[in-house]
Structure 1
Amino acid sequence: MKRLAALLPALLLSACAVGPNYKRPAALPPEQVRLTEALENGAVTPSPLPAQWWQLFKDPELDRLVTQALAKNTDLRVAAANLQRARAVLSEAGAARLPTSNVSGQFTNSQQVVPALSRTVTNDFFSVGFDASYEVDLFGGVSRSIEAARADAASAQAAVDAARVSVAAETARAYASACGFGEQADVARETEELQARTLDLTQRRLAAGRGTQSEVDQATVLIEQARAQIPGFEAERRAALYALAVLTGDPPAAIMDSAAAKCRTVPAANEPLPVGDGETLLARRPDVRQAERALAADTARIGVATAALYPKISLLGSTSLGATQFSNLGSAQSFGYSVGPLIKWNFPFSGAARARVRESKAVAEGSLARFDAAILNALKEAEQALARAGGAALREAALRRAMTASADAARLSRTRFDYGADSFLQLLDAERQRAQTRAALAQAEAARADAQISVFKSLGGGWETAKP
């Protein structure tokens, strides 16, 4: 017993964790993470990204919808449940550092025939016991398991944050899409009304003998083309609303009574978008953090597999009380104990343990590749989103100028037509250009909102204010 007590501190002091110690991969140099598209892009500014970026659209209904989605979205609930599971696994791994024990109690009644005595002997035996064991983490298998579980929990937390980023962005996108299709449907109705007035004019001219049936047919074609667009836009608007309802955790039918169903103007962030810099982007993106923590966990598992190559040493101890009569339990004669070390070693090796080490190393190599890919993908998505946002802003500005010019041209052509200076074909062409430009502007407004939301999503914001 004294030798065992002297041996235990030596074992604990000599304990070491086998396997590689994790080191975070070196960061890319600043020139490689610079956001090139943000340098000469008038649609953005290097100011820090606010945590609740959707408030930049200054739309109370959008704020309400995103807040509700972050509270009720089903994907977020799944991610939160996965996080709770990962934390429970961490607690389970930590418990391996503690001794295990159990208490037992037993009563047996036995009967045996003794031929020499020509009679049956009956015996009763009462026993209670307490067993305890403790695994000495001599080669770090337990500590590496805890290290891996802790990294897994952090990776699960990053997955929750990534889900929040996606839910906030997709909620804003669905809302902007519904508003955009509503606006395009209204533009088609306005075009239909204008074409209806032109058709009425041509019919009156035909009745007065000043027009032709061909002019009436051409005006009819234009009004029917505008009318045909309305059902498609309205159907897409309702489809976007149904998607929005599910994102916010509500049944699809519930959205039709909300303010979102009445939206006919695409939300816009009219000020330059604050995007920060590339280094801040990579530090904020949850998917990068998730990949880094997964790499840390898989690196720790190399140590777990390596520790299996070495002996496992456990300290065992038990005490017991046993007597043929219950009243004698606790007497000196009923007491017994055992204590000592247990050494287990998988020897000779069959090759399976070493194969598991190679397997864990290969998994870690794959996780490193995924981490590198996450960084490159984050930079790629940001650059693509910034490029498209800049292009969308320039396209919308150009179409606004074109809309002003086409509207002036259509008014002038109608006036000249009324006085006989322009032909009917010239009037139709001017009105057709005005209608096409107005429809293109409505599409450009929707595309600009979608591009702005894509920028915010690529920046990985929207999770910072969440409760832990």
Structure 2
Amino acid sequence: MMSIDMLKNNLCKALLCFLPIFSGCTVGPNYQKPNISMPIQYKEAQGWKIAQPQDQEQRGAWWEIYQDTTLNGLEQQVVLSNQNIAQYVARYEKAAALVSQSKASQLPSVNATGGATRSADGNASPSNVFSAKATLSWELDLWGKLKRTVAENKASAQASAADLANATLSAQTTLAQDYFALRVLDKRIALYDKTIETYSRYRKVLAAKYKEGVVAKSDLTQAEQSLYSAQASREDLVWQRAQYEHAIAMLIGKMPAEFNLPVSQAALPYIPEIPLTLPSRLLERRADIASAERSVAAANEEIGIAIAGYFPDISLTGSTGYSASSLSNLISAQNLLWSLGASATQSVFDFGANKAKVKQARATYDEAVAAYKQTVLEAMQGIEDDLAKSNSLTKEVSHTQQALASASETARIKRNQYNEGMIDYTDVASTEATRLSNEQSLLQLQSTQLQNSVALINALGGGWDKANLSQ
């Protein structure tokens, strides 16, 4: 007695005997990574530290260099709850499953069937037919089409993994920038609160003096104008803060109504020292560049798949089984049935359809190469922009701090002069407005500095490395 499993094993052994007869080759171009000439150093890198080997290790939680526990907690929620990232996770899982599917297509497929029928012909007595059958089919990959399909799907899956990493870094970067913008707004609002309190005292004093006829009405109206302008400016910052809070809620996958970030007056973090990796390292450190390069690799495999269309598809098929009128003696040598065969399918005349497919594949490859090179160029531009901006911001902050010191001293002198009756309130209001403007400008520049430092980390690839794509 032989089981179905034994039948399948015998069939596989029989078909394996054909393999030495079919020794194919892989048609189409072998993949070579596009060559890109990278500069030795960055144009705007004067004064920047070049990363040492230990600096180039994967940084992972790069946001921790800002030493803000609230930010650390928010960043951890991005990967878990951000819905954009969840979409990229699903796309990667789909791409990975396609790799497994294409690998399976290189192997034989075996199907087992069983059946029973009862029939009669005219006046003859009804008869029974019982059957058990195993069928095997195998497409021989003589021209490397299936092999290239696996390679194409694997490269696409790696590109998808890089896209996931890039989307994650983008969300983390946006969160950090929004968080720093919100924290600076906390300080700017607090500054307006302090200024409004000062203006309110001035208005109260001037209202009493105007009632007594000591000062002109213009002094009172000037004080009121300064107060109301400060209140209006404060409200402008309040709705800006609310929008950043809503944006952060979305980034961590929460409804705005479910999220609240309490006001904080903690000191702003210092701008961290960010060591620069060499330009050539960008090809390994940036997920978007890796994704573009993997897309080129996938497009190259597509050329080989299209070229394989010029050659016949050859398949081996075989079946074995039993057929009998009685179930009790179904599996016996006298009821054994088997067959082996091979088939070839070749397009004789397709009016140039396959030639057009090859041409399309080559054009897709050329497009992917151009996209890869453009991605590298944009990456270089982004880093140079961030470096130039950082250098100028450092100087701008220094000059604004000097301007603020001068404005504060001028405001102090004018207040003393006004208290001594030497000048009217218009001069005081003017110098106070200048001081407030300089202080607000300084805070805004500090916000821009923090956000630009995050942008530079993002441009350098965050903590990612192409080694993460190895499978």
- TM (normalized to structure 1)? 0.91
- With 311-320 and 457-466 compared, the bigger mean Cα shift is at 457-466
Q: What do the CA deviations read for 1:367-425 (whole angstroms, capped 9, x no partner)?
A: 11110111001111111122222222222221111111111111111112212333333
Cα distance, 1:24 vs structure 2 = 0.5
Change (3 A) 1:345 1:161: same
**Equivalent residue for 2:5?**
none
Cα distance, 1:3 vs structure 2 = 12
Q: For 1:466 and 1:193, how far apart are their aligned partners in 2?
A: 57
Q: For 2:339 and 2:130, how far apart are their aligned partners in 1?
A: 19
Q: For 1:126 and 1:393, how far apart are their aligned partners in 2?
A: 88
**Equivalent residue for 1:359?**
360
Q: For 1:4 and 1:51, how far apart are their aligned partners in 2?
A: 51
Q: For 2:18 and 2:69, how far apart are their aligned partners in 1?
A: 69
- With 211-220 and 342-351 compared, the bigger mean Cα shift is at 342-351
Change (3 A) 1:233 1:440: same
Alignment equivalent of 1:35, drawn from 36, 42, 59: 42
Q: What do the CA deviations read for 1:210-254 (whole angstroms, capped 9, x no partner)?
A: 310011111111111001111221111111111111212223223
1:382 aligns with 2:383: yes
Q: For 2:138 and 2:243, how far apart are their aligned partners in 1?
A: 61
Alignment equivalent of 1:138, drawn from 136, 139, 142: 142
Contact 1:266–1:446 (Cα < 8 Å) also in 2: no
Amino acid at match of 1:92: Q
Q: What SS does structure 2 have at the residue aligned with 1:130?
A: strand
Change (3 A) 1:442 1:408: same
Q: For 1:466 and 1:83, how far apart are their aligned partners in 2?
A: 17
Q: For 1:58 and 1:8, how far apart are their aligned partners in 2?
A: 63
**Equivalent residue for 2:62?**
53
**Equivalent residue for 1:239?**
243
Q: For 1:163 and 1:251, how far apart are their aligned partners in 2?
A: 21
Q: For 2:158 and 2:272, how far apart are their aligned partners in 1?
A: 36
**Equivalent residue for 1:112?**
121
Q: For 1:244 and 1:4, how far apart are their aligned partners in 2?
A: 61
Q: What SS does structure 2 have at the residue aligned with 1:45?
A: coil
**Equivalent residue for 1:441?**
442
**Equivalent residue for 2:22?**
11
- TM (normalized to structure 2)? 0.90
Amino acid at match of 1:11: F
Q: Give 5+ residue unaligned stretches, structure 1.
A: 114-118
Change (3 A) 1:282 1:264: farther
Change (3 A) 1:276 1:463: closer
1:95 aligns with 2:96: no
Q: For 2:107 and 2:418, how far apart are their aligned partners in 1?
A: 94
Q: For 1:349 and 1:125, how far apart are their aligned partners in 2?
A: 45
**Equivalent residue for 2:128?**
124
Alignment equivalent of 1:189, drawn from 190, 193, 210: 193
Contact 1:51–1:461 (Cα < 8 Å) also in 2: yes
Contact 2:285–2:464 (Cα < 8 Å) also in 1: no
Change (3 A) 1:244 1:464: farther
Contact 1:173–1:453 (Cα < 8 Å) also in 2: yes
Cα distance, 1:299 vs structure 2 = 0.8
Contact 1:317–1:340 (Cα < 8 Å) also in 2: yes
Q: What do the CA deviations read for 1:62-111 (whole angstroms, capped 9, x no partner)?
A: 11111221232222222111111111100000001111111111212222
Amino acid at match of 2:321: S
Q: For 1:210 and 1:101, how far apart are their aligned partners in 2?
A: 105
- With 72-81 and 93-102 compared, the bigger mean Cα shift is at 72-81
Amino acid at match of 2:190: D
Q: What do the CA deviations read for 1:299-321 (whole angstroms, capped 9, x no partner)?
A: 10111121122111112111121
Cα distance, 1:353 vs structure 2 = 2.1
Cα distance, 1:330 vs structure 2 = 2.4
**Equivalent residue for 1:255?**
259
Contact 2:287–2:465 (Cα < 8 Å) also in 1: no
Q: For 1:39 and 1:454, how far apart are their aligned partners in 2?
A: 18
**Equivalent residue for 1:165?**
169
Cα distance, 1:6 vs structure 2 = 6.8
**Equivalent residue for 1:155?**
159
Q: Give 5+ residue unaligned stretches, structure 2.
A: 1-10
Contact 1:45–1:276 (Cα < 8 Å) also in 2: no
Q: For 1:336 and 1:270, how far apart are their aligned partners in 2?
A: 80
Cα distance, 1:10 vs structure 2 = 3.6
The aligned runs of 1:334-349 (5 Å cut-off) are 334-349=335-350
Q: For 1:181 and 1:109, how far apart are their aligned partners in 2?
A: 85
Contact 1:281–1:459 (Cα < 8 Å) also in 2: yes
Q: For 1:64 and 1:6, how far apart are their aligned partners in 2?
A: 62
**Equivalent residue for 1:457?**
458
- With 64-73 and 167-176 compared, the bigger mean Cα shift is at 64-73
- With 286-295 and 126-135 compared, the bigger mean Cα shift is at 126-135
Q: What SS does structure 1 have at the residue aligned with 2:215?
A: coil
Q: For 2:271 and 2:320, how far apart are their aligned partners in 1?
A: 77
Q: What SS does structure 2 have at the residue aligned with 1:162?
A: helix
Q: What SS does structure 2 have at the residue aligned with 1:132?
A: strand
Q: What SS does structure 1 have at the residue aligned with 2:262?
A: helix
Change (3 A) 1:271 1:174: closer
Amino acid at match of 1:39: Q
**Equivalent residue for 1:116?**
none
Q: What SS does structure 2 have at the residue aligned with 1:327?
A: coil
Contact 1:164–1:463 (Cα < 8 Å) also in 2: no
**Equivalent residue for 2:82?**
73
Q: What SS does structure 2 have at the residue aligned with 1:19?
A: coil
Contact 2:134–2:321 (Cα < 8 Å) also in 1: yes
Q: For 1:160 and 1:266, how far apart are their aligned partners in 2?
A: 34
Q: For 2:236 and 2:463, how far apart are their aligned partners in 1?
A: 33
Q: What do the CA deviations read for 1:246-296 (whole angstroms, capped 9, x no partner)?
A: 21222322321xxx4223457433343323232223320100000000110
**Equivalent residue for 1:313?**
314
Amino acid at match of 1:112: D
Q: What SS does structure 1 have at the residue aligned with 2:225?
A: helix
Q: For 1:196 and 1:131, how far apart are their aligned partners in 2?
A: 92
Change (3 A) 1:421 1:364: same
- With 264-273 and 275-284 compared, the bigger mean Cα shift is at 264-273
Change (3 A) 1:332 1:315: same
Contact 1:164–1:462 (Cα < 8 Å) also in 2: no
1:290 aligns with 2:291: yes
Q: What SS does structure 1 have at the residue aligned with 2:316?
A: strand
Amino acid at match of 1:418: N
1:63 aligns with 2:76: no
Q: For 1:432 and 1:367, how far apart are their aligned partners in 2?
A: 55
Q: What SS does structure 2 have at the residue aligned with 1:326?
A: coil
Q: For 2:272 and 2:424, how far apart are their aligned partners in 1?
A: 44
The root-mean-square deviation of aligned C-alpha atoms, in Å, is: 2.4
Change (3 A) 1:6 1:189: closer
